[in-house]
Structures are given as C-alpha cells and as structure tokens.
Amino acid sequence: MQKYIEKMKREAAELDSRIKKATAAVENPPFGMDAEGLRLLKLQICAMESYFNVLHQRIRHEESK
C-alpha cells in the first residue's frame, strides 16, 4: 500500500482517539471547565468529526483505485 494511504490511516486513528477523549471530557467535564469552554469543545468535536469523515472518504477513494 502506498505510504500516503498508510499516513492517512494513522492520522485517522489518532484523530479518532482525540475525538473519543474530547467526547469523554464533554460527558464528564474536567474541574474548572466553564460553560464557554464546554461550548467551544463541542464545536471542536464537530469540526474533528467532519475532518475524520472526509479523511475516511479520501482513504476509501485511494484504496479503490
């Protein structure tokens, strides 16, 4: 498999881990996180999930060639 596909797969795995950690923080906010911080974290998770989805589409596209 081409190196860039493997690189995208590693990136997707790392991003998945970050999404899970951020989601856990939303479900159980760390001490000191205020409402604005929580709102911003939720926005960040949405952006990461969008990027994750596009990254997977790129991986599937490249693997189908």
> Tell me: the pLDDT tens digits for 40-53?
999 999 999 999 99
* 53 close to 45: Cβ distance less than 8 angstroms: no
Alpha-carbon torsion (49, 15, 42, 29), positive or negative: positive
Task: Please give the torsion angle defined by the CA atoms of residues 18, 22, 25 and 26, in that order, rounded to the nearest 10 degrees.
Answer: -160
Number of separate domains in the chain? 1
Point out the residues of the chain with pLDDT beneath 70.
1
3-state secondary structure of 29: coil
Dig out the tokens for 48 from the structure: 């990461």
- CA dist., res. 4 & res. 53, Å (int): 17
pLDDT of residue 22: 97
Domain enclosing residue 50, as ranges? 3-63
